Structure 1
Amino acid sequence: MKMAWRSRMIAALVGVVVGMATGGVAHAGEVGVQIDSGGAGGNGFLPDSYVTGGATDTNRTGGNGLPNWSRTVAHPIPQEQWNTFRFLESSYRVPGLTPGASYEVRLYFDDWYWSKVGQRAFDVAVNGTVVLNDFDIIQTVVTAGGDGRNLGVEKDFTVTAGSDGTIAVDLIRGPVDQPLINAIAVVPVG
């Protein structure tokens, strides 16, 4: 049992080193790809990469909030990645994945601009399938028992990489204001 654990740990470490050497592109056995949406990267996150469209901004509230709130975030990320974001319609195409392999796509959202339910609602599609419809970050926080102000939300989806080894994440304008995302993680399943 100890030998199996050691083997998994060595494979994970090799995956991190290979991922760093290949610019963060994940391959079988690696820990995955993490993207700092709108940011410069760091803490194991790539700078905002593999994206078209949208604009970037930073947290201008003067505070940090509680983005890794345990009721809405299962896999906490560093504060620096929460403090940057991409807004407006945009598309991420994460390449270099194993074709046909399963991945967990973790999407991180914290609305540093709006503070009330109904001020922002948008759609998110992963590999062409809408996974979040009329998604309201603040509503999600309020439903979980928060006041809605500066609390993060993580949404996870298991998807299969396309035949070209790519996973697509599209942020689509909905009925109110513009889409917004703080970070994306694509993690191999299994």
Structure 2
Amino acid sequence: MPGTDDTTVASMNRILQAAAFGIVLGLCTGCAGIREAGQPMLGVGSTVRLHTALVVPERRWSVYLQDSKPQRLATIDESRGYCELKVHGPKPTAQHIAPGVFIVTSARRRLDRTAAREIRIASIGALANTGFERRYRAYESEMSLSGADDIRAFTCTVLQEAGLGRYMTLAEARSVVGDVLSLQPASAVGVEQ
């Protein structure tokens, strides 16, 4: 660079290196939540037992559970976590889910940006365009189910700050669903708890 001494160039290089390091560190921190470390709360072969008949509202595909009871979408406090029983698809009339036992056929964890945005818009629409969904992620555990009724999946989600969040534990999920559902890990199937 014309007109600069070695000290200035060295200082500029150190500043650029520090900025690059900060960017890389920031990217790594932001990606920390994407890794799916650990096991899902319920593995293959686990059971989800529904004790109470539930109704999926018309034109909806799930029942939301929080505070040990079914809730409307707009009343969910996503930061405290919630669970859903999902059917295969919406119908023009309400769908009734009878009590029964459902077996977990697959399980996974994922970050769901869409759920964070949908829940946030439904609960406080005024903040929908503030960039909230860019700073927070819905940490979702999803278990595919098979059983007698038209249930497709059981999911538990908690909205947390991107990169710092964690997935809901089995104990937390049990607290969310209360007496509506019993969640029994595959390792305990056949063992009284």
Please say whether Structure 1 and Structure 2 have the same fold, judged by a TM-score greater than 0.5.
no
Q: Which has the higher helix share?
A: 2
TM-score range, shorter chain: under 0.3
The TM-score with structure 2 as length reference comes to: 0.25
Question: Which structure features the higher share of strand residues?
Answer: 1
TM-score (norm 1): 0.25
Q: Which has the larger radius of gyration?
A: 2
